[in-house]
Amino acid sequence: MSYEMNFGHSYSEELPTLGESMSEVIRFFGGQYIYGVGGDFAANLIAALDADEQGGGIKIHPSSNEMHAGFSACAQAEIDGMGFCLTTYMVGSLPCTSAAALAVTESLPVVFISGAPAESEVNQVAIHHTIHPNASWKTDYDNALEAFSALGMRVERLQGQRVEGHPNIAGQRFYQIVAEAYKNKQPVFIEVPRDQVFAKTQPIKLPSSLENICCGSNILAGTELIVENILSKLEQAKAPMLYLGDRLKHNEALKSLIITFAQRFNIPYATTWFAKGLFDEYAPLCLGTYNGIFTQTAGRTYIEQQVDYVIDVATSILPQDSNIAFATGTHKIENFDNKTLLKGGSLLEKDLIAIFEGLLTRDISAFVFEPLAEKALNTGTGTLAAGNDDVDFNNLAQTLNDLQAQDESPYVYLPEVGNSYFASYSLKVRQSILGRSWLTNPWYGAMGTALPYARVVAQRLKLYAEQTPEIKERAVVIIGDGGFHFQLNELIHFLKDQTDVTIIYMRNNVFHLGKSGDGAIYHCNDKEFDVHSLVKAYQGHSKTCTSVSEFKDYFKMCKQQSGISLIEVPAKPVEERQSNELKLLNLYIKSQNGQVEAMQAWKKLTE
Ligand SMILES: Cc1ncc(C[n+]2csc(CCOP(=O)(O)OP(=O)(O)O)c2C)c(N)n1
């Protein structure tokens, strides 16, 4: 029996292939690009999804390897709202597990699509790319599904019709799994048997828009009472503030409601470390990021000395060490008594939306808050980064802040895990057109992501600049030499994509952060390595900059150059040259270890 005999000729004529259905679903969720690497099990998927001359389909961006494809898809989820990654079976999908774990941790809706053996191939012979001990009597086809499942992800291998003429609902299943990623802000893993890609599947009728994908409305009761409670606390308060967390990052509607609320009642706001880059830190009401003793801004003084009521919005349910000042006990908001916690428990934070909509209907008078005067960072060599000072981690943030203050066009910072990551918390960021001006994986903390992330940022900035030439934003990677050497094969794509990036290469010849000893394992570089020759191979520009003024001059020049620009900074792995954040962390660790001098110094700092 065929579909035609079952549902009639007209229905059967309408049937799309699974590949067509997938393409439609990916586009519905805003996906115009997929990052991936090919392989025989993925060949049909590539043929089915790849963009055609007419602009249909999805543009496939090749990555240097699958982990990088996964990381780029994570960056895509951060800035476009949804990410897509395509690989071949097992050898291709398994290297994505770290990117998938990152996506779970950083709440990113990334769809990992993998080719898989044809249904007709299963149970016949052992198949290449499967895990197969040599004494095995049977083939295991499901290891990748199990591996991703072990990360707590929803996984599925799509299936075709079981009997000729019976329904094939693979297209619908694909939609449902992708929708689940979207709603829950979590990654999913989908294997597609290669013989199913061109099989006919039952057509699906997509909702009219993303708003209508049946997420339900807010079913948490008591919004009115919460609103009343906040209002009565506001009435008693003189200096309230909003403390904003990273669960806001995918919710533009909620972000703009909160800013409207803040502006209407003149209430200042700060973000957690993890929510850095979501808001314009040059806005008069913005107090910057706050993380206890690690924060050096005037905002910190205001928070710790003036604020009398905190509305804590969308911060993580479980306190995470780095986000609460490494449990140093210096995070004043963490233990603030007069605080309302709005963590957000509904899908797409609809409960929080209802609360802020409720608050905005009320007529309260605006608070008195004067924008705070700028405070220079402690660079260890006086408070400013003087022109002839050596540039290093101790004054890198101040140096970049000086540059950004004079430049209206935002820098989109991509700090790599290592010393660069810690130093980047003192950067003062402008609002980027991408909605994110500071992007990394602050919670999961995987090294090796900055260039795959920067590639996506640079691609999007290029698109914006093509549409609106006044947009002159710049992707700025800050990275140690160890981190750079993890991932520099990704540089080829900046050349291929003809995108622009400035890379600040903090060269100290060791894996410095976390280094505890002199073992060979910490030596990630060689003194003879000539980074300029490397950059030249990618048709880029580069210069070694030793002093602050040299750095500033060349940084400005980089902005005028297209392609890759790299600034090599000779960094010294010594305590005086560390960022303030790391100096404090090191001091805290020493004092916890019972070193008397460190204990005294810490006490003095925190009194
Ligand atoms: C994938 C991964 N491997 C290892 C680590 C542990 N780790 C964190 S920072 C670091 C060293 C960074 O060295 P480098 O990039 O040279 O920067 P530096 O700290 O020297 O400035 C290492 C190995 C990690 N976070 N992620």
- The predicted model gives 224-239 an average pLDDT of 96
How far, in Å, CA of 294 to CA of 485, rounded?
29
Give 343: exposed, middle or buried? Use CB within 10 Å, 0-12, 13-18, 19+: middle
> Which atom of ligand 1 lies at the shortest distance from residue 420's CA?
21
Tokens read off for 309: 């009521």
Give distance in angstroms: CA of 346 to centre of ligand 1: 36
| Residues with Cβ within 8 Å of residue 51, at least 6 apart in sequence | 57, 58, 59, 60
418 lines ligand 1 (CB under 6 A): yes
pLDDT at 2: 66
Spatial neighbors of 133 by CB under 8 A, at least 6 apart, are none
Mean pLDDT of 35-43: 97
| Contact 450 CB / ligand 1 (< 6 Å) | no
Residue among 71, 424, 447, 507 whose CB has most ligand 1 atoms within 8 A, to mutate: 447
Structure tokens at 247: 């669960």
- What is the dihedral sign for C-alpha 446, 448, 450, 453? negative
Q: Is the CB of 480 under 6 A from ligand 1?
A: yes
How far does the centroid of ligand 1 lie from the alpha carbon of residue 427, in Å? Answer: 20
pLDDT band at 386 (very low <50, low <70, confident <90, very high): confident
Contact 201, 207 (CB under 8 A): no
The stretch 574-598 carries a mean pLDDT of: 94
| Strand ranges, E, within 169-234 | 188-193
* DSSP code of residue 217: -
What pLDDT was estimated at residue 363?
A: 86
Token pair of 371, please?
A: 């924008």
Indicate if the pLDDT at residue 232 is higher than 80.
yes
Contacts of 97 (CB under 8 A, 6+ apart): 147, 148, 151
Cα distance between residue 71 and residue 444, in whole Å? 12
Q: Which residues contact 73 (CB under 8 A, 6 or more apart)?
A: 34, 35, 83, 84, 85, 99, 103, 110, 111, 112
Gap from CA of 483 to ligand 1 centroid (Å): 6
pLDDT recorded at residue 375: 87
Write out pLDDT tens, residues 322-380. 999 999 999 999 999 999 999 988 889 999 999 999 999 998 899 999 999 988 888 88
HSE toward the beta carbon, residue 211, CA cutoff 13 A: 3
3-state secondary structure 530-549: CHHHHHHHCCCEEEECCEHH
From 222, 228, 229, select the one nearest 345 (Cα to Cα).
222
Ligand 1 pocket, residue 508 CB under 6 Å: yes
Q: Which pLDDT value is given to residue 532?
A: 98
Please give the number of the atom of ligand 1 that sits closest to the Cα of 513: 19
Alpha carbon 35 to its chain centroid, in Å, reads 15
445, 389, 455: which is closest to 420 by C-alpha?
445
Name the DSSP class of 425.
G
pLDDT at 3 over 90: no
Decide which of 286 and 218 is more confident: 286
- Kindly give the distance from the C-alpha atom of residue 486 to the centroid of ligand 1, in angstroms, as a whole number: 9
Pocket of ligand 1 contains residue 465 by CB under 6 Å: no
φ, ψ dihedrals at 394, nearest 5°: -65, -25
The tens digit of pLDDT for each residue in 434-483 reads: 999 999 999 999 999 999 999 999 999 999 999 999 999 999 999 999 99
Measured from the Cα of 484, ligand 1's closest atom is 15
User: Between residues 364 and 397, which one has the greater pLDDT?
Assistant: 397
Q: State how far the Cα of 487 lies from the Cα of 528, in Å rounded to an integer.
A: 19
Nearest to 546 by CA among 506, 494, 512, 604: 506
Could you give the angle at which helices 66-80 and 97-105 cross, rounded to 10 degrees?
A: 20
> Which of 52, 55, 45 shows the shortest CA–CA distance to 22?
45
Ligand 1 touching residue 70 (CB < 6 A): no
From ligand 1's centre to the CA of 158, what distance in Å? 38
The predicted pLDDT at position 56 comes to: 80
- Residue 485, ligand 1, Cβ within 6 A: no
When pLDDT is averaged across residues 381-410 and rounded to a whole number, the result is 92
Match 């940022």 to its residue by tokens. Answer: 457
Report H helices in 468-579. Answer: 481-487, 491-497, 531-537, 548-560
Quick check: 503 pLDDT over 80? yes
**The token pair that represents 484 in the structure block:** 């750079």
Average pLDDT, the chain: 94
Q: What is the pLDDT of residues 306-321, one digit of tens each?
A: 999 999 999 988 889 9
| φ, ψ at 239 (rounded to 5°) | -135, 75
Q: Tell me if 513 CB under 6 Å of ligand 1.
A: yes
Entry pTM? 0.96
pLDDT given at position 409: 97
Per-residue pLDDT, 164 = 83
CB of 514 sitting under 6 A from ligand 1:
yes
Q: Provide the 10 A C-beta neighbour count for residue 348.
A: 22
User: What would the pLDDT profile of 275-315 be if each residue is shown by its tens digit?
Assistant: 999 999 999 999 999 999 999 999 999 999 999 999 999 99
192-217 pLDDT, tens digit per residue, is 999 999 999 999 999 999 888 877 77
